[in-house]
Amino acid sequence: MADVQGLVNDFATKLSKRKVEGSRETARMTAELLRTIISQQKMTSSTNHAAVLIDAVRGVGRRIIDANPVELAVGNIVRRVLYIIREEEFSLQAGELTLSSQGSDREIDEEDDKIFLSSAATSQRILHPTSLATLLGSKPDMPPTCHPSASRNHDIEGKGNPSSLTLKRHIMEAVNYLIEDIKTSHEQIADQAVELIHQNEVVLTLGHSRTVKKFLCAAKEKKRSFQVVVAEGAPKYLGHVLAKGLAAKGLQTTVIADSSVFAMISRVNMVVVGVHAVMANGGVIAPVGMNMVALAARKHAVPFVVVAGTHKLCPLYPNNPEVLLNDLRCPSELLSFGEFSDCMDFSIGSEAPLLHVLNPAFDYVPPELVSLFVTDTGGHTPSFIYRLISEFYSADDLALQQKLLPENEHSNSK
C-alpha cells in the first residue's frame, strides 16, 4: 500500500497546486486513482468486504477533496464510486438470495419426490413380494458417499470466500464504465447539437469551454450554417482562445466585450455555455460574468442552455458548508503590481492599504435562469436534476467531510 499512498499524495499535490486543468480531466484522474485503491485493497474472509472498500474510498476521498475543495468534480466521483460499491454489494446479495431460494425449492421438490417414490416402492413390495433368487443375487450395501455439492463447498471454504473477488471484479467493471463515460462525455453531448442549433441562428457564449467548442463544431460538421458571438471572458480573456478555435473550424465568429452582452442579446437566438458544477437544486456554478449573461437572456426571452457532463452533477446544495461557491484568484490578473503599488503603504504599523483588488473566479446562476441542461444522458430541465442525482449518488455518502465523535465523547455529549 506504500505505492498507493504515494499515488494519493502525488494527486493531492497536483490538485492543491492547480496543475490539473478542467473538470473532466480531474474527474477521470480521480476515478482512475480510486480504481487503483480498490484493486489493491486487501480483505480477509471474515470482514465485510463492501464496508472495507467504502472506508478505503472515503479515506482517500477526504484527502483529495481537502487538497482543493473548489474542484467539486473530485467529490462527485468519490461519491459515484461509493454508490457503485453499494449497488454491486446489493446486487450480489440479491443474487445469492435468489439462488438460495431456488435451491430450497429444489430440495423441497426432491424430498417430495423421495417420499413419493418411497411410498410407491413400499406398496410395490407389499403387492409383489421379492423372490429368493433376487435376494441372493443382490449386492451388499455400499458405504455412504459425500454429495458432490458438499465436496465443492469444502473446496471453496478451503480456498477462501470467493465473494470478495466477485465483488471486486464487478466494482472494477463498473468503475471502468464510469471512466469511459467521462472520456466520451464531450462526444455524447456534441451528438445532440444538431437537434438544438438550426440554420442561420446566432449563438452566444462566454469564455472558453471545451464542451461548448465540441458542441458548436459538431453542429458545423452537420452542415448547419450559424454565427457565434463570444464574450471574451475577462480577466483571463479565454474567449479569445475559443474564438480562434471556432474560426479555425470555419465558423463565423464575433468577439465582444463582456459589458456588451446586454447590447447584443436581442440579436441572439440561443445562449450555450459551459459550467464548473451543477448543484442539486438545478443551479450552476459558472465562470464569473455568467449570471449577467443569464439575466440578459431572461430579460429578452432567449433560451439559456448549459452543456455539462454528468460528472459535474453535484449532489450538494449551494448552502451546504462543504461547497465553496467561489475562489479568489490572483489580483495580478486584473492589475499588475506596479500599477497599484503606489496606493499601498508599506511602513511598519501602517493602516490597511487604500486599494483592494478582488478577483472572484465564479458566479452562481440560480435554476430559474436556466432553460435546459444538455448532458451525456440527454436533455433535462432544472427540475429534473434531482432525479439524475438520485440515480448516481447515495444519501449515505453526501457528507464525506463529516467527522464522527469518539464513543466516549459522544456519550459525554449526551
**Domain-embedded: residue 393:** yes
The three-point CA angle 63-68-70 to 5° equals 130
H/E stretch holding 363 reads strand 362-365
| pLDDT (tens digit per residue) in 136-177 | 454 444 444 444 444 433 333 333 344 778 899 999 999 999
- Which set of grid coordinates corresponds to residue 192? 445532440
- Which set of grid coordinates corresponds to residue 309? 457532463
Cβ pair 74, 65 in contact under 8 A: yes
Q: Is the pLDDT assigned to residue 343 strictly greater than 50? A: yes
Say which CATH number the domain at 235 has.
3.40.50.10470
Share of the chain above pLDDT 70, in %: 76
| CA 360 – CA 302 distance, rounded (Å) | 26
Q: Is the pLDDT assigned to residue 320 strictly greater than 90? A: no
338: pLDDT confidence band, cut at 50, 70 and 90?
Answer: confident
- What residue numbers bound the domain in which 359 lies? 186-397
Cβ pair 281, 271 in contact under 8 A: no
**Domain-embedded: residue 93:** no
Q: What is the dihedral of CA 258, 261, 267, 273, to 10 degrees?
A: 70
Query: Cis link prior to 366 (omega < 30° from 0)?
Result: no
For the chain, how long is the longest CA-to-CA vector?
125
| CA 72 – CA 69 distance, rounded (Å) | 7
**Domain-embedded: residue 97:** no
**Domain-embedded: residue 278:** yes
- The total of other beta-carbon atoms located within 10 Å of residue 327's CB is 17
**Domain-embedded: residue 164:** no
Distances (CA, A) of 218 to 60, 139, 203, 207, 274: 38, 82, 14, 19, 15
Burial 157-194 (b: 16+ CB within 10 A, else e): eeeeeebbeebbebbeebbeebbebbeebbebbbebbe
Q: So what's the pLDDT on residue 100?
A: 63
Q: Is the pLDDT assigned to residue 11 strictly greater than 70? A: yes
Q: Is the pLDDT assigned to residue 312 strictly greater than 90? A: yes
Q: Which of 39-53, 112-126, 306-320 has the lowest mean pLDDT?
A: 112-126
* Strand order from edge to edge, sheet including 362-365: 277-278, 284-287, 362-365
Alpha-carbon torsion (165, 171, 177, 182), positive or negative: negative
- Which set of grid coordinates corresponds to residue 247? 474560426
Into how many domains does the chain fold? Answer: 1
**Domain-embedded: residue 275:** yes
Higher pLDDT, 41 or 127: 41
Cβ pair 327, 361 in contact under 8 A: yes
- Whole-model pTM: value is 0.80
Distances (CA, A) of 358 to 287, 351, 361: 15, 19, 10
| CA 269 – CA 183 distance, rounded (Å) | 30
Across 119-133, average pLDDT: 47
Q: Pick from 306, 316, 314, 318: which is nearest to 375 by CA?
A: 306
Q: Is the pLDDT assigned to residue 340 strictly greater than 80? A: no
Cβ pair 310, 97 in contact under 8 A: no
Amino acid at 90: F
**Domain-embedded: residue 276:** yes
**Domain-embedded: residue 43:** no
Name residue 206's beta-bridge partners: 231
400: pLDDT confidence band, cut at 50, 70 and 90?
Answer: confident
Across 111-139, average pLDDT: 49
- Which set of grid coordinates corresponds to residue 92? 450480489
